[in-house]
Amino acid sequence: MPLINGSTELFGIIGSPVRHTLSPAMHNAAFASLGMNRVYVPMPVRDLPQAVSGLRSLGFRGVSVTVPHKEAVIPFLDELDPVAEQIGAINTLLLRQDNARRIIIRGYNTDWIGSNAALTAAGIALQGCRAVVAGAGGAAKAVGFGLMRAGAEVILTNRTEESGRQLAQWLGCEFVALNDLSWLTADVFINTTSAGMEPDVDGIIIPPALLPRFVAVMDIVYAPLETRLLREARAVGCRTIDGLAMLLHQGAEQFRLWTGEAAPEAAMRSALEIALRISGHE
Ligand code: ATR
């Protein structure tokens, strides 16, 4: 914990709820490991316009945005990163003063960068790789967008066909129903749904018999850290990427935006693991 004083710079996360967020542990560890006089706090927010106006007047420098505000916050910002605008959702705010000392808030999306970085860090070359993405929510959109942008071939699948087809159309990729996956082979399988998340620890989005068809399997669920999907994938020799990887790498990109410096990823990862254990998940 830094010595908080009159020069401490403020960072945090807005969402509802934020009780279980691991981001404060990750970002405070990053600031501490580089000796930065900065602090990152959780802020439960229901009244979004009031909260954004509060960030301006309280002098916050950087803020994470989580559910349910990732899309709703956009009208209250001054600037949008073009890629975040294309995705239609943001997870990061950067606040700065302009020449007239007006506070300018710019929105970014680092989720898709985090997903790509998690895969790349595991040794997967994204250009030309074939990836099956399960899910049709905000996480699937970010993961699918990142893969498409990196030149991967994406196949989307989802429990509900209609929302799956809709997202596939938006991404410009193929949709295959969960029941029709048995003929497919691919480099990567990525679960972006909550299947397998506590308390549904026996849940798994695809039949385990299909797992040998993939070189690598990534799950964005991190409670438990080794989901049934990852356990079964590991047992048949797939490379596995756990749910803390995307969280870490999207946070590392936030850190870079906020500080202009490379993120201390090892310190951030170990803080995430400790926070997860303390929260009773591991
Ligand atoms: P997020 O924005 O965090 O990605 P979301 O918008 O609630 O979350 O999306 C959840 C996704 O997980 C959906 O694709 C959902 O499938 P449906 O479209 O069929 O609802 C999927 N999902 C959630 N729980 C699931 C489960 N137990 N099995 C399969 N899919 C599940």
The CA 220 to ligand 1 mean position distance, Å, reads 12
Residue 3, pLDDT score: 84
pTM of the entire structure?
A: 0.96
**CB of 136 shorter than 6 A to ligand 1:** yes
The CA 159 to ligand 1 mean position distance, Å, reads 8
Q: Per-10-residue mean pLDDT for the chain, 282 residues long?
A: 88 96 98 97 98 97 98 98 97 97 97 98 97 98 98 98 98 97 94 97 97 97 97 98 98 98 98 94 60
- Whether 141 is a known active-site residue: answer no
The CA 149 to ligand 1 mean position distance, Å, reads 23
Residue 183, pLDDT score: 87
**CB of 192 shorter than 6 A to ligand 1:** yes
Residue 281, pLDDT score: 67
Backbone Cα Rg of the chain = 19
Answer whether 251's CB lies under 8 Å from 11's CB. no
State how far the Cα of 81 lies from the Cα of 109, in Å rounded to an integer. 8
